Structure 1
Amino acid sequence: MTETVTAITLTRHRPDLVQRAIRSVQAQKTAHVVHHVVLIDDCPATRDALSGRYPGTEVIYLPREPHEVSGPSRSSRLRNYGVRRSTDTWIAMLDDDNEWTPDHLDSLVDCVRSAGVRAAYSHVSLLTQDGQPYLEQRWPWARDPDEAAELYREKVAKGIISPGSNVTGNPPGVYDEPADTSSWLLARELLLEVPYDERFTADDAENLQGEDDKLFLALLARGEPMACTGRPTLRYYLGGYSNSPTGRTDATFSWASVPDGAAPTN
């Protein structure tokens, strides 16, 4: 049975990186139908760089309102927009600074079919920005060096990563480490039931809890069955806002969309 998948990529000021991501979607070795939608977040230079270059890719330019800023809240809104406009059975996200190995989508479709689930994810190969395996014994999602070393030791003890390897992921039946956005294959109907959270607080910023973390926790909380391929088919390049020294992507960046103690607005 042929499945239909919409791959969604958000991009802003990274025309070179997003083209690498586009090429990795085009390189997928699969008999399934894959539609790639690139959502350009208010960046004319990126729109111009992609114009006419990738006829098999749908490129949509989305200008911002004056009050809108970069950050996980904006990313969640764009992801939810992409899900709503899709008509395919499955949704996959690929961030513009990452790429998939050619068997990524095929292995995920095989996984959801064999497990009979609506949510599956892959393991991850961690890479430096120049594409080298990340082998430092420090967890990159911690900004304090001592905390990074301690977290790394904890992840090793839990079997999430091994010294000398750049592959990270939960062991079978363990859900300690949230799956990255770019590693998922999710049923569209599931993402309509459990959309990406668009509300973020200062506590989320302090704990580096992004939209992928919140989605993972929401799926766990509702008891949604999940499966993992166990294969490192996501090539994750470090240096995004969740693991960069500054935690920012541009001058407008704001992690918290809702002040602590304030009631979220819809």
Structure 2
Amino acid sequence: MAVTVVTLTRTRPALLARALASAQTQSPPGGFEHLVVADDCDETHALLRGRELPGNVRWLLAGRGPGEVSGPGRSSRLRNMAVRISESPWITFLDDDNEWEPDHLTSLLECARRTGHRAVHSQLRMFHPDGTPYLEQLDPWTADEEAARAEYARMRARGVVAPGTCVRRDRLDPLDTPDPVVSVDTGEWLLARELLLRLPFRDDFDAADEAARTGEDDKLAADLRRAREPVSCTGLPTLRYYLGGYSNNFASAFDPTFSWQA
């Protein structure tokens, strides 16, 4: 297969079913496999065992040892495991609460072919969990309202967001760029497997990361910039990103076992 799509999932079988259906709308040249990693969840395990899945879908149940918890560190370790067991030259990630437009993989592969780059990404449309467009002029990853307005204004000035639209023109500015934009969600990336084996997701997170809401995608972006890896963007908002995950959920616990730092 040309691409392995990796989906991590836990305690959200209904959303996983939506993500599985979304992936099956893709028709990239060379085909793709969808590798679903169920993170120690009996409910999700039951759904996968009991459902007749397409032939290009395979799944595994990742158990936990003593003291292992949910969080960006755990997600990084599972992503890295999926990369290692994949045999595809390209890896992409579809979180269980998100969807893709049908041309997502095709447009990413075309961008990679055209540029010769090992790291390419799309852009996104942002939605509330109920499917309504996110149109608030607030950065959704910033808890303090004043700071969220300020960050939205900065992103507006940099051409990432605009009032009246839920499109987010994410990008990864290179080093030495004044006031850089460093914002690419995991679900926007298409990455060469060889690159991810050399620059895996980091699983070290501390109190400073928790305060800044730094996730595994943020650390990957920082590592790509430091390595001066060439990056290209399709310019197409083909990721349908739904709010409500741990990076933007300030009201309640994302998962009872969740810990940012463990």
Check whether the contact 2:122–2:237 (CA below 8 A) recurs between aligned residues.
yes
Normalising by structure 2, report the TM-score. Answer: 0.94
Following superposition, the deviation at residue 29 of structure 1 comes to 2.9
Question: Aligned AA for 2:53?
Answer: Y
Q: Which runs of 5+ in 1 are unaligned?
A: 258-266
Residue 50 (str. 1) matches residue 55 (str. 2): no
Question: Aligned AA for 2:97?
Answer: D
Cα distance 1:230–1:135, how it changes in 2: closer, same or farther (>3 A)?
A: same
Following superposition, the deviation at residue 149 of structure 1 comes to 0.9
Farther off after superposition, 148-157 or 75-84: 148-157
CA-to-aligned-CA distance 1:219-247 (integer Å, 9 cap, x gap): 00010000000100000000110001247
Cα separation, 1, equivalents of 2:70 and 2:171: 33
Check whether the contact 2:172–2:231 (CA below 8 A) recurs between aligned residues.
no
CA-to-aligned-CA distance 1:4-46 (integer Å, 9 cap, x gap): 1000000010000011111111111333310000000000111
Question: Aligned AA for 2:212?
Answer: N
- Give the SS at the match of 1:27: coil
Cα separation, 1, equivalents of 2:77 and 2:251: 23
Cα separation, 2, equivalents of 1:170 and 1:70: 27
Cα separation, 2, equivalents of 1:132 and 1:240: 16
CA-to-aligned-CA distance 1:204-223 (integer Å, 9 cap, x gap): 01011100000011000010
Identity %: 48
Check whether the contact 2:173–2:181 (CA below 8 A) recurs between aligned residues.
no
* Alignment-derived partner of residue 154 in structure 1: 154
How much is the aligned-residue C-alpha RMSD, in angstroms? 1.4
- Give the SS at the match of 1:233: strand
In terms of fraction of residues, the more strand-rich structure is 2
Q: Which runs of 5+ in 2 are unaligned?
A: 175-179
Where do 1:1-266 residues align within 5 Å? 4-51=2-49, 52-56=51-55, 57-170=57-170, 176-246=181-251, 248-257=253-262
**Number of aligned residues:** 255
- Give the SS at the match of 1:230: strand
Cα separation, 2, equivalents of 1:124 and 1:48: 31
- Give the SS at the match of 1:229: strand
Question: Aligned AA for 2:47?
Answer: A
